Structure 1
Amino acid sequence: MRLSRGVPLLAALLTGLTALGPAAPAGAHTPGHCARQDRLHVPGAEHQETACLPDLTTAGLAGTPYTDLADQAGLSAKGTVNPSGVPGVQIDGYFPDGSRLNATHGWAHDAQFVIRLPDHWNGGLVVTGAPGTRRQYSTDALISDQVLARGFAYAATDKGNTGPDFFTDGREPGDAVAEWNRRVTELTRAAKKAVRQRYGAGPRRTYMTGISNAGYLTRWQLENRPELYDGGVDWEGVLWTTRGPNLLTSLPVTVARHFGSATDEDLIGAGFAPGSRFLWPYHEKAYWGLTQKIFRAEFDPSYDPACPGTTAGSTVEELLAPCASDASYAYPARPASVRRAVAKVALTGRIGKPLITLHGDLDTLLPIATDSDVYARMIDARGRGALHRFYTVQDGTHTDGLYDTYPDRLRPILPCYRSAFDALTRWVEADVTPPADGLVARPASGDVVNSCALGRGRDADGSRAPGRS
């Protein structure tokens, strides 16, 4: 089933909602094809399977058990050019976990991960988590292909729970999302040791990155575990703050609109961009109601115990159906216990390593006005502005797959993300000042799917560029 051309319905549903540094330098470590494969034992893993492969990219893995194209659907635009031909070792496995939501490989076991170790290594490691409620292969085409071609090792996690029923994991409200952060930390530490086993040395640079929920993970890691990383790129990360804004303050108005108790002007007043109106019907069908009910069930299950209950639905119709009760949901009026649940995962803006944020001005799931604009101000308020760059991508929306439906009204963010990662690696490794904060305007011509220039460098005095919210 499809809601629009090029964006499969279930993939859109489960998306909550990535690469790329310079090419491998001369003298990069080249241990030979799959050298030391027998030495690879991921610390802490309950189960692992290691494979020597001729190509670790999606072009080489398509149709094999080593990737999942269906879980990537809708995240990138048609015409996106990805590299291929990267030989090396892939490790699939899982860490100890009691939940069983991820059925990949027939394991029925959560906390699954993938680690890819290219034969030609540039000394770096890139770590990410799954966006939305997807699984560990979901950003292979967005992130893995490009970073592997540049010589980085790569590691991704399913975050410890997957699918629209992720909220059933954990003993207390907020536990399922809190596990996401623990799983990223766990994988990062383990992947660094696996890198050492393969190449005889640990990574010289480690970068955290991700889109949507994994953008949130990037923010959290750089705030809470900065010693593990050298920097990160946050692609429209979800913002969780204890008092708001968060998804539970921005999405109820969309459910109210669905049930006729809110107007389009109410959405605009809540932060949704007026120019995104053409995307609202799609998001009303595919995103808004589902996202509100599953996160409300995660942090505030007592509000309406019957919806979603123990499952978000077993059919497409049930999954998409919003809870009528959420139309009147008022986060500020809920008991203090709800804010305590959100506090488990809340962001502060106190980043400890360089971070680049990108966000589309037509994002219709996470409006920029109630998300990255706010997070940028939080970082500044913490006195960490010198560590942050923030780029607003004109005509960008939450998932690039929608570009194929509206090529005259949208632009993909992926090429801007790739430029941002390149800017991050230059910033960290060569002390090259990134472009100034501001709007990344849509070009009037050229290959908008595969190219993006971020703009000029920061002003000589280091001040913020005009236009930062």
Structure 2
Amino acid sequence: MQTFLRFARAIAAAALLCAVAAPAEAQVLGPAPEGCTDEVLPSGARIRLCIPRRGWNGDLLVWAHGYVSPLQPLDFYSFSFPEGFNPQEAALSRGFAFATTSYRRNGLAILPGVEDVRQLVAAFRARAAPAHTYLFGVSEGGLVTTLSLERYPELYSGGLAMCGPIGSFREQLNYFGDFRALFDTFFPGVLPGSAIQIPPEVIAGWFTVYLPKVQAAIAANPSAARQLVRTAKAAFDPDDPETIATTIVSVLQFNIFATNDAVEQLGGNPYDNRGRLYFGSHDDLLLNLRVERFAASARALRSVAEHETTGDVSLPLVTLHTTLDPIVPYWHEPLYLLKVDTSDRGVVVPLPVHRYGHCALTNEEILGSLKLLLALGR
């Protein structure tokens, strides 16, 4: 009974999380404040350019937002940080100029995001010449930040990448695919579709029909839920078993809302688990015999390769990441460091935050990381 109550509380918390996140934990920045103008790039991306009318310190902070569902409108997005950190307010209240873009599309928009941010900086420089330009972003925007520093170092003075899939984009996609394939093995028949194809009715009915089914399945079989997160290598807080249900719902939600768009944008299925062995269940042999196998398309893998970081960074890059991140796993950080040539003149400073949650960062942690970046980038 105690285990059931813990999972029931977790399911309620996960439902609240989903109602807020839906599904990307994005928050709209709101109307342009004084000193800001909103425009549209030739690509269709919206941009916001802000210069303090009084007391500008001469530097520019550029914000790269995280993943936003293709079902949402183009807008200027922040992120639902626990303490409500607002990048626009943080920049302008401290004397920085601020710029951001909606990107030209929602959904998988990493490469378009890199280009739109480049054009955003050019549009700002047509109005004023900042002494330094710092790029900072969260989640998908963390990868946009890192790729931007690698590919256009002449535009920036440094960057802060928060909880981004910077170590391996392909392994991030495999992580999402593995989680769904394993969920279908431990909880067969709960969700229609598969790891690589989501029926439209599941997307439309996620909150009203299928999320309740997932919650009920977790509550009815907590042992299978624990085996799922172990075999998928998904993060949860070992001191708080309720986070198991939160992890399951959160990762599945990305599978539901992001999979079809990713397949379309990449030109095919990028997920491949044909040679993967899964460990951590009560019967690994049976699990590996039962789990559905998928083959990635060559075209999709070529597209995925274009999204990969190289580690060739010649500017200061600060990374900030929660160590128990269920959406973008912390293992991206060491994977990225393995790519970096330490003899290069760039400085990569990883800052781990020992906490559960996807970018569950405090205002103090974010502002402290920005302060470090500014010190390194001058």
TM-score, normalised on structure 1? 0.56
Q: Give 1:239's aligned residue.
A: 166
SS in 2 for 1:14: coil
Distance 1:351 1:329, change over 3 A: farther
SS in 2 for 1:361: strand
User: Quick check: 1:190 aligned with 2:123?
Assistant: yes
User: Quick check: 1:268 aligned with 2:230?
Assistant: yes
- Any conservation in 1 of the 2:63–2:135 contact (CA below 8 Å)? yes
SS in 2 for 1:255: helix
Q: Give 1:66's aligned residue.
A: 31
- Any conservation in 2 of the 1:123–1:204 contact (CA below 8 Å)? yes
Q: Separation in 2 of the partners of 1:392 and 1:127? A: 23
Residue 388 of structure 1: how far off its partner (Å) = 0.6
Q: Give 1:136's aligned residue.
A: 76
How many residues are paired up?
295
Q: 1:278 aligns with which of 230, 236, 242?
A: 242
**Structure 1 residue identity aligned to 2:67:** G
SS in 1 for 2:103: coil
Distance 1:240 1:96, change over 3 A: farther
Q: Separation in 2 of the partners of 1:187 and 1:234? A: 18
Percent identity, aligned pairs only?
22
Bigger relative CO (Cα 8 Å, ≥ 6 apart): 2
Which segments of structure 1 move beyond 6 Å, counting only runs of 4 or more?
Answer: none
Q: Give 1:92's aligned residue.
A: 38
Q: Separation in 2 of the partners of 1:266 and 1:96? A: 45
Residue 179 of structure 1: how far off its partner (Å) = 1.1
SS in 2 for 1:367: coil
Q: Give 2:256's aligned residue.
A: 290
SS in 2 for 1:280: helix
Q: Separation in 2 of the partners of 1:329 and 1:91? A: 50
Q: Give 1:38's aligned residue.
A: none
Q: Separation in 2 of the partners of 1:66 and 1:143? A: 14
Residue 113 of structure 1: how far off its partner (Å) = 1.5
- Any conservation in 1 of the 2:312–2:340 contact (CA below 8 Å)? yes
Q: Separation in 2 of the partners of 1:385 and 1:257? A: 43
SS in 2 for 1:395: strand
Distance 1:396 1:272, change over 3 A: same
Distance 1:7 1:127, change over 3 A: farther
Distance 1:300 1:189, change over 3 A: closer
Q: Give 1:216's aligned residue.
A: 143
Q: Give 1:149's aligned residue.
A: 93
Residue 423 of structure 1: how far off its partner (Å) = 1.0
Residue 358 of structure 1: how far off its partner (Å) = 0.8
Q: Separation in 2 of the partners of 1:227 and 1:269? A: 43
Q: Which runs of 5+ in 2 are unaligned?
A: 1-10, 70-74, 188-223, 271-290
Residue 265 of structure 1: how far off its partner (Å) = 4.4
Residue 225 of structure 1: how far off its partner (Å) = 0.5
Residue 294 of structure 1: how far off its partner (Å) = 4.2
Answer with 218-227 or 259-268: which moved more.
259-268
SS in 1 for 2:365: helix
- Any conservation in 2 of the 1:3–1:282 contact (CA below 8 Å)? no
Q: Separation in 2 of the partners of 1:298 and 1:278? A: 35
Residue 253 of structure 1: how far off its partner (Å) = 2.4
Residue 156 of structure 1: how far off its partner (Å) = 0.7
Q: Separation in 1 of the partners of 2:333 and 2:345? A: 13
CA displacement 1:137-187 (0-9 Å, x = unmatched)? 42594311111111100001112112xxx36xxxxxxxx532111101110
User: Quick check: 1:161 aligned with 2:101?
Assistant: no
Residue 349 of structure 1: how far off its partner (Å) = 1.0
- Any conservation in 2 of the 1:350–1:379 contact (CA below 8 Å)? yes
**Structure 2 residue identity aligned to 1:204:** A
SS in 2 for 1:151: coil
Q: Separation in 2 of the partners of 1:92 and 1:345? A: 28
Q: 1:347 aligns with which of 296, 299, 309?
A: 309
- Any conservation in 1 of the 2:40–2:46 contact (CA below 8 Å)? yes
Residue 203 of structure 1: how far off its partner (Å) = 0.5
Q: Separation in 1 of the partners of 2:330 and 2:86? A: 21
**Structure 1 residue identity aligned to 2:370:** F
